[in-house]
Structure 1
Amino acid sequence: MSKPKKGILIILSFFAIYVIWGSTYLMNKIVVTEVAPFLLAAIRFLSAGTLIMIISKILKLPLRITRAQFFNCVIAGFLFLFYGNGIFVWALKYVDSGFAALIVATQPLFVIFLMRILQGKKIKPKSLVGVGLGLVGMYLLISQDTLNLSRESSIGIAVIFTCVLGVSFASIFVSKADLPSHFFVTTGYQMLTAGTLLIIGSLVLGETWTSPLDWSLKAQGAMVLLILFGSIVAFTAFNFLLKEVSTEKVATSAYVNPVIALLLGWYFLDENISQQSIVAGCVLLTGVYFINSKKKFVMFSRFKKNLKV
């Protein structure tokens, strides 16, 4: 693939994990009012995984993988989709959604420090500034809501932190792991394995199963969007980016998604956007700029140079 084409694909992929994934908050909110969480995720990922494999077959992409590649897909599917999605939604029963979103915003910080611990990668000063701005922005965004914490909340908070840690570790793992040669096929295997685990989890928890034919048209439409765009397009873009750009840059979606979700809630659900929300969004996007920017942190460089003198 030529550099210009790859550059365009990277830009489109960031749009997918920023905007499309940000819209999944709205879509999930619509569907989960009628469908159990694990069943919802299982239908979403099994359907998307099956479609990906069919498309891959039509495009004549190589579907055969080694045992090691399959094992790595299982690990990634478990951490990203089963634990990072299914368990996270379950934990929301015990934690205020606003507080949970604030916890999720720590993902880039987890990624940066895990890369330091596991790979010995130095933490760039501008990346730390970006993470700090992201956390400040998320606090401004979420602090407007009243957090109702109960005794059970400590369990939910602990579980959500493990979800964020798991997704952060998986992001680093996938960037270096031996996976199928085509990222589209990688996505398919991850979704099929995760969907199977979610079906088992749904049975173990005794969730009530309902047929999609019995859902409202609104829920059916939202599920179709989740499968086609939230799963196939966005998650494929996510896997592509993990192989093409630094992991901490991919993790910035944790900052942008809540902003997109807020805007969609305002547009489709008539939710109000306060001045504080606008300020929070600006701070968040500034944080993303610092982490994604290739420019050197001039102030720090000068300070470091003066120390040497």
Structure 2
Amino acid sequence: MNAPVSAAPARGGLAVAAALAIVYVVWGSTYLGIRIALEGGFPPLLMVSGSRFVAAGVVMFLFLRWRGVAPPTRAQWKNVLVMGALLLLMGNGMVVLAEQTVSSGLAAVAVASMPLWMGLFGALRGQHATKAEWLGIVIGFAGVVWLNAGSSLTGSPVGLVLLLIAPIAWAYGSVWSRGRDLPSPFMTAAAQMLAAGVMLVVAGLLHGERFNTAEWTLTGGLAVAYLAVFGSIIAFTAYVWLLHHARPVLVGSYAYVNPVIAVALGAFIAGETFTRHDLGAMAVILAGVVFITLARARQAK
């Protein structure tokens, strides 16, 4: 049995920076990818989430086994199932459902409350954020509130409720996973996508979703493929690696950068409204990320 993965101290260098950049940029673009896939006739839980996670998980799992990476033990599978249920079934699945009735920019903005929850759950687990990190969290969240208040981004009440629950589940699952008995980060990501993908497919079938290829478009199919390769295999693996090599608050800072990228892409590619109000709020959000990043740099010294 592999030794439990410890909550490793924050690492400096290019590895953490590169992983953060991948999560920042790729996950910021997936909100628009989800919208395009939904508009392309692909059912939310069955295909946009479930099947693409199953496909990504199977490909990655088989590749890792071919490279000789040990599979999860029975005890590790239990932890992977919990992580999959919290991060992907609830965290990702609810966002995809919400994007049926809310704009991609608003979805990213609402999820930006996640660092607050991550800081809180991290404190309950004994890894307290520094004063500078909390200042960054408050500044970033103030920018999120500003972006929502009076913004032209649109959404439904049901969609907003789903977007309230999703970041709480994601944050708790992320903090809960630290120090658990898990396989290597790459195998953890593969097994988690595989397990959660099956759960999402079942949830989609229970939700009444069905495969109807007559409604699918080429653009929607390309969006699903992008989500599977870049959003799942590449970015999610980078995120799982970061969970064990960086402080929770720094890892959670992606939720502040994603709205900037999502709103910008939604405006320039999908024609979603983008105003000076949104631009000012994004500047505040990025200021919060700067505080968190600088706090992390001082912590590492």
Same structural fold, with TM-score higher than 0.5 when normalized by the shorter chain: yes
Alpha-carbon distance in 1 for matches of 2:95, 2:271: 26
Is structure 2 residue 210 aligned with structure 1 residue 226?
no
Change (3 A) 1:121 1:9: closer
2:186 is the counterpart of 1:178: no
Letter in 1 for 2:176: F
- Matches of 1:56 and 1:217, distance apart in 2: 30
The two structures have a TM-score, normalised by structure 2, of 0.86
Native 8 Å contact 1:27 1:225 kept in 2: yes
Tell me, yes or no, if the aligned pair for 2:136 and 2:287 is still in contact at 8 Å: yes
Quote the offset at 1:169 in angstroms: 0.7
Cα 1:28–1:186 change in 2 (3 A) is same
What SS class does the counterpart of residue 244 from structure 2 fall into? helix
Partners of 2:107 and 2:224 lie apart in 1 by 23
Corresponding residue for residue 120 of structure 1 = 126
Match of 1:81 in 2: 88
Change (3 A) 1:218 1:81: same
Residue 37, structure 1, aligned to residue 38, structure 2 = no
TM-fit CA distance, 1:79: 0.7
Amino acid at match of 1:200: V
Report the CA distance shift for 1:57/1:101 in structure 2 as closer, same or farther (over 3 A): closer
- Cα distance in 2, alignment partners of residues 48 and 86 from structure 1: 16
Aligned residue number for residue 77 of structure 2: 70
| Structure 2 match to 1:305 | none
- String of CA shifts for 1:82-104, please: whole Å, max 9, x gaps: 11111333345677776654442
Asked if the contact 1:133–1:287 (Cα under 8 Å) also holds between the matched residues in 2, the reply is yes
How far 1:146 moved relative to its partner? Answer: 4.9
Runs of 4+ in structure 1 over 4 Å off: 91-102, 146-150, 155-159
Specify the structure having the higher radius of gyration (Cα): 1
Q: CA RMSD in A?
A: 2.5
Q: Which secondary structure does the structure 2 equivalent of 1:57 belong to?
A: helix
Aligned residues of 2:35 and 2:104 also touching (Cα < 8 A)? no
Q: Tell me, yes or no, if the aligned pair for 2:81 and 2:195 is still in contact at 8 Å.
A: yes
CA distance in 2, matches of 1:295, 1:10: 11
Return closer, same or farther for 1:113/1:30 CA change in 2, 3 Å cut-off: same
Following superposition, the deviation at residue 175 of structure 1 comes to 2.0
- Corresponding position of 2:5: none
Distance in 1 separating the partners of 2:165 and 2:23: 22
Q: Deviations over 1:57-94 (max 9, x none)?
A: 3322222x221111001111111111111133334567
Separation of aligned partners in 1, 2:297 and 2:63: 39
Q: How many residues align?
A: 286
Counterpart of 1:286 in structure 2 is 287
Q: Are the aligned partners of 1:98 and 1:145 in contact in 2 as well (CA < 8 Å)? A: no
Which consecutive residues of structure 1, in runs of 5 or more, have no partner in the other structure? Answer: 298-309
2:69 to 61, 65, 70: 61
User: Could you tell me whether the CA contact under 8 Å between 2:137 and 2:288 is conserved in 1?
Assistant: yes
Matched, 1:193 2:189: no
Between the aligned residues of both structures, percent identity stands at 33
1:269 Cα shift?
2.7
CA distance in 1, matches of 2:144, 2:282: 8
**What TM-score do the two structures reach when normalised by structure 1?**
0.84
Quick one: which of 16, 20, 24 aligns to 2:26?
20
Kept after mapping to 2: 8 A contact 1:25/1:261:
yes
| Conserved? CA contact 1:175–1:247, under 8 Å | no
CA change 1:177–1:101 in 2 (3 A) is: same
Q: Does 1:137 align with 2:143?
A: yes
| Structure 2 equivalent of residue 163 of structure 1 | 166
Q: 1:123 to 1:240 in 2, by over 3 A?
A: closer
| Aligned equivalents of 1:30, 1:206: Cα separation in 2 | 21
CA distance in 2, matches of 1:227, 1:206: 23
- Over 3 Å counting, the alpha-carbon distance change for 1:67 and 1:130 in structure 2 is same
Judging changes above 3 Å, is the alpha-carbon distance between structure 1 residues 97 and 278 closer, same or farther for their aligned structure 2 residues? Answer: closer
